[in-house]
């Protein structure tokens, strides 16, 4: 077992997983404290590194694409103070940090963990229910529906209709964007059958963020919702199986795609995705029907 204890937090590696616990130092970000302890399985890791500085260094974990709903929902836009996969290391613990890196890297090699993307989330995301107040609204999520309530600063385009409830089944995607310079951030939900996007300031499906202390906490709501949406790999498989729009002229298909054996192979692939839990029953049925129509 390898362990490193710092004011910024404690990382423990037992050979199978890393346990990341945020520190209680006043400089530890609010997001990391609210997120709490993380258990990262070895299979979710793509790599680990340690960067030395004159006064302090930094341990960094690199997760495989698609392994963590938090990283997917935030699009890699979490800055250093809020990134739970970084640990500030004091200069007198550089040797311990290097040993920690060696232990994790050796385990990755011994277990032959690939560094490529995964087709299912390997971390569960933030626990629910949770509620965050920031920017012009309050976003709450209970695992089945999102509720958006508006503060007095919200535009009439939002507040006039009152609180908004979005069932999880109606949400196609979620996005968190931090405030950058003079450009405000947002937490936005893409809702099926909703009109085209409007600026977050006027979008009833978005909370506009102004760069204050609690803004990063909205990323927790985004991650909790993302963890319960179909994995991007499942959506990609569904899109691939979906027939082309009948209103558009079909492009000439390669001979292999028209081959009966190729379609049978596609059905077997969809069956494997369904058995492994990547595709839900509904998604599997739709994808299978699309392939059968092509046959």
Distance (Å, whole) CA 217 – CA 277: 29
Q: How would residue 120 be classed by pLDDT, with cut points 50, 70 and 90?
A: very high
pLDDT at residue 181, rounded to an integer: 84
Q: How would residue 291 be classed by pLDDT, with cut points 50, 70 and 90?
A: low
Q: State how far the alpha carbon of 284 is from the alpha carbons of 123, 230, 231, 246, 277, in Å.
A: 23, 12, 13, 22, 10
Name the phi and psi angles at 74, rounded to 5.
-95, -5
Of residues 80 and 100, which shows the higher confidence score? 100
14, HSE (Cβ side, Cα atoms, 13 Å): 7
pLDDT at residue 80, rounded to an integer: 85
- The pLDDT of residue 36 is above 70: yes
pLDDT at residue 241, rounded to an integer: 61
Mean local confidence (pLDDT), 270-294: 64
CA Rg value for the chain: 22
- The pLDDT of residue 257 is above 50: no
- The pLDDT of residue 273 is above 70: no
Q: How would residue 83 be classed by pLDDT, with cut points 50, 70 and 90?
A: very high
- The pLDDT of residue 189 is above 60: yes
Secondary structure (3-state) at 208: strand
Over residues 128-183, the pLDDT tens digits come to: 999 999 999 999 999 999 999 999 999 998 999 899 999 999 999 999 999 988 89
Question: HEC string of 41-102?
Answer: EHHHEEEEEEECCCCEEEEEEEECCCCCHHHHHHCCCCCCCCCCCEEEEEHHHHHHHHHHHH
pLDDT at residue 182, rounded to an integer: 84
Over residues 9-20, the pLDDT tens digits come to: 999 999 999 999
Q: What percent of the chain has pLDDT over 90?
A: 68
The answer to whether residues 35 and 20 touch, using CB atoms and an 8 Å cutoff, is: no
**Cα torsion angle, 283, 288, 293, 295, sign:** positive
Q: State how far the alpha carbon of 264 is from the alpha carbons of 144, 247, 259, 292, 294, in Å.
A: 36, 27, 9, 9, 11
| Distance from chain centroid for Cα 128 | 15
Distance (Å, whole) CA 72 – CA 45: 15
């Amino acid at each position: 077992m390898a362990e490193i204890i710092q004011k910024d937090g404690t990382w423990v590696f037992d050979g199978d997983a890393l346990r990341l616990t945020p520190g209680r130092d006043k400089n530890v970000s609010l997001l990391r404290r609210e997120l709490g302890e993380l258990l990262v399985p070895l299979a979710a890791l793509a790599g680990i590194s340690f960067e030395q500085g004159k006064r302090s260094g930094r341990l960094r974990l690199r997760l495989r694409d698609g392994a963590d709903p938090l990283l997917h929902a935030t699009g890699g836009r979490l800055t250093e103070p809020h990134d739970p996969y970084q640990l500030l290391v004091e200069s007198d613990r550089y040797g311990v940090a290097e040993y920690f890196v060696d232990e994790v890297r050796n385990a990755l090699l011994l277990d032959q963990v690939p560094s490529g993307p995964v087709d299912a989330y390997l971390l569960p995301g933030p626990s629910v229910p949770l509620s965050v107040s920031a920017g012009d609204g309050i976003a709450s999520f209970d695992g089945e529906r999102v509720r958006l309530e508006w503060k007095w600063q919200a535009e009439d385009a939002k507040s006039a209709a009152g609180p908004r409830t979005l069932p999880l089944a109606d949400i196609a995607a979620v996005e968190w964007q931090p405030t950058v310079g003079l450009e405000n951030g947002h937490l936005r939900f893409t809702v099926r059958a909703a009109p085209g996007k409007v600026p977050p300031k006027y979008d009833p499906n978005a909370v506009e963020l102004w760069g204050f202390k609690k803004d990063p906490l909205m990323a927790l709501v985004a991650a909790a919702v993302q963890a319960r949406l179909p994995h991007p790999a499942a959506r990609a498989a569904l899109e691939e199986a979906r027939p082309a729009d009948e209103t558009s002229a079909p492009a000439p298909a390669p001979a292999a795609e028209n081959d009966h054996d190729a379609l049978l192979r596609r059905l077997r692939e969809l069956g494997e995705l369904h058995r492994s839990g990547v595709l839900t029953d509904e998604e599997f049925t739709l994808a299978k029907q699309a392939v059968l129509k092509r046959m």
